[in-house]
Chain A
C-alpha cells in the first residue's frame, strides 16, 4: 500500500468517524466540534487530490467562518445540563427514506463519473478564476447580489429589534 492510500484511509476514517460522532454525541457543542473535525478531514482529502486552493477554501469557509457562527449560536443556547441537548427522535421510517434517496443519488453520481488518474495541475487558482469570473460570471454575480441582499436584510432586522426595545 502506497503512502497516498494510507493517507486516504486515515483521512477517510477521521472524516467518517467524526461525522458519526457528530450524529451520535448527546452534547450539541461536542457535535459542533466534531463537525469541524469532519470539515478539516474533507479538506485533507482535497489536499490529497492536489486541489490545495479548494482545501484552503474548505478550511477557511467551513472550518473557520461557518463553524464559528454555528458554535456561536449553539453556545448562546446554553443550559444547565448540556448532556442531553442533542436528542434522538422516533422518526426512523422517514430517516430511512431520506437516507436511501440520498444514497441512490450519490451512487448514481459515482456510477456516472469517468474515473481516471488525476493530471497534476500546477496552479488550480488560475483555472478557478477563469471559470468563475469569465465563463460563469453572471451566476457568480447573481450569488454575490443574493448574499448582499441577505446581509442588508439581516442588518434591517437587527435595527428594528433595537428600536422596539
Chain B
C-alpha cells in the first residue's frame, strides 16, 4: 500500500526530479509546478462539477421517486457532458442596457475565489497545495470575496430581479459568515493553530465532530447558506425572482456561475471533512481516497437536505442566523474556552 499511499506525492517528486535532470532553472521548475497545480485545480473543479451535477440530479430523482437523467450514455452519465457542450456552443449575449464591464467580469470574479480556496485544502497526507501558517484564516478571507461579484452581477444587469437577488445574497452572506467563522473558531481553539496540517494532525486520535458537535451543525447550516444552496437559495428563488442575480446571464457566463456554485459545494464539504471529520485520516485505504469518501458523504448530505426541505422565507432566514445560530456559536466558543481552561 505504501506506493499507492504516496502516489501523488511521488508523482510530484518525479516531475521535479526529471525537470532538474533536463536542466531547468529553480525558478522555471517552481513556475512549471505552480502551473501544473493550477491546471490540476481547474481540472478537479470541472470534473467534480460534471460528476456532482449528475449525482445531484440522480439523487433528486431517487428522492422524488422518478428516474432522473437516463437517456444520454449508459444510465444517463453523459447528460451533463452534453449540457456543458451545449452551454459552450451558445451565443454570448450581453443585453443592451447593462453596465458592460462589470457585467462581463462578474462571473469570472465569482469563479476566482473558488479556485483560490483550493490552495489550502489537504487532499491527503502531504498533499496540501500550499500549507500556509494562516491556512483557515486565508480560507475565510478568500470566501468573503465571493459576495462582491454577486453584487456586481446583480447591479450591472440593470434588472430589478437581479438587484433584489443580489441584495438578498448580501444580507444572507453577511448574516451567515459570522456563525460560520465562530464555528470554525472552536476547532482553532482546540488545535491552537490556523495551519491546515496542524488541524488535520490534531484529529489523528479523535475527530473534532466528537468534541465540537454543535460547531459542526452550525458549520453545516451556515455553509449551506453561504453557498446559496436550498433551503437557503433565496437569492435565486425562481418562483419569486426568476433566477436572482443570474437572470440576465446566458451561455458560458451563466455556466461559470453554475460551475463556481458546485466548486463552492465541494469546498464547503472538503472543509467540513478537514475541520470536523478527521481530514484524510483513516485505516487501510490511501489518504486521498479517505478524503474523497468523506467529502462525498458530506456532499450527499447537502444534496439530501436540498431535495428534502422547502425554501425558507427571508425573515426566517435572518432570524435563524442572528437570533439562533449566532448566540449558539458564541455559547460554543465560551464552553470550549472554559473546558480548555479547566483541562
Give the B-binding residues of A (Cβ under 8 A). 3, 27, 29-30, 33, 36, 52-53, 56-57, 59-60, 63-65, 67-68, 71-72, 75, 78, 82, 122-123, 125
Contacts and interface: CB of A to CB of B under 8 A. Distances in A.
A59 B142 contact: yes
Contacts of B132: 52
A64 B140 CA distance: 10
B161 to A, nearest CB: 14
Considering residues A30, A68, A82, which has the most beta carbons from chain B within 10 angstroms of its beta carbon?
A68
A68 B174 contact: yes
Given A52-B138, A64-B145, 18 more contacts: A3-B27, A33-B148, A56-B134, A59-B144, A60-B140, A63-B141, A64-B177, A68-B147, A68-B151, A68-B170, A72-B151, A72-B170, A75-B151, A75-B155, A78-B163, A82-B99, A123-B134, A125-B133
A75 B163 contact: yes
B144 A33 contact: no
B152 interface: yes
Interface in B146-202: 147-148, 151-152, 155, 163, 166-167, 170, 174, 177, 194
Contacts, number: 68
B102 interface: yes
A52 B133 contact: yes
Contacts of A65: 144, 174
Nearest to A83: B99
Contact of B102 (A33, A57, A59, A123): A33
Nearest to B152: A33
B137 interface: yes
Contacts of B166: 75
A56 B27 CA distance: 26
Interface of B: 27, 99, 102, 132-134, 137-138, 140-142, 144-145, 147-148, 151-152, 155, 163, 166-167, 170, 174, 177, 194
25 contacts: A29-B102, A30-B102, A33-B152, A53-B134, A56-B140, A56-B141, A59-B141, A59-B144, A63-B144, A63-B145, A64-B141, A64-B144, A64-B145, A64-B147, A64-B148, A65-B144, A68-B147, A68-B151, A71-B148, A71-B151, A72-B167, A72-B170, A78-B163, A125-B134, A125-B194
Residues of B contacting A: mostly: helix
Residues of A contacting B: mostly: helix
A154 B307 CA distance: 38
A26 to B, nearest CB: 13
Given A33-B102, A71-B151, A59 B137 contact: no
Given A63-B144, A64-B145, A64-B147, A56 B137 contact: yes
Given A33-B102, A52-B133, A125-B134, A60 B141 contact: yes
A59 B138 CA distance: 9
Contact of B137 (A33, A53, A68, A75): A53
A123 B152 CA distance: 35
